[in-house]
Structure 1
């Protein structure tokens, strides 16, 4: 007879590590965000974004036709920096 014991904590840890890897893969696949993706990623409204940081010269953005596009990596870095600055005010 074979007796198998599974460490539930270890299984959960492996699962979370693999999940994090997949999230990073999907995240890295996006070169830029559109307005809807920016709203989704920040959990902010368009009015709030325009009021708080849209016109900040450090915030990289491009208008193509009628749509706004934001370089994903630059936008993430800016948002993290901006958020840290807000907590010091």
Structure 2
């Protein structure tokens, strides 16, 4: 696995975990009455899972974008050092 893929995957998993924690906080504190709305519906569990997945993927994308934008300026120079010396 390349360093870039490992970097992006690590930050995607971190963002997904933050998103799932955020969804849990929304449901525990019943913000917008989402917990009570989904508790009374037979498809409530599916709705909660979809909510967690989509909020988690949004946070994962956000975390990956932030990680890429705040990467140190010379972070990828090690891969390019030998390319121009031929």
Q: TM-score range by the shorter chain?
A: 0.3 to 0.5
Higher helix share: 2
Of structures 1 and 2, the one with the larger relative CO (CA 8 A, separation 6+) is 2
TM-score between the two structures when normalised by the length of structure 2: 0.35
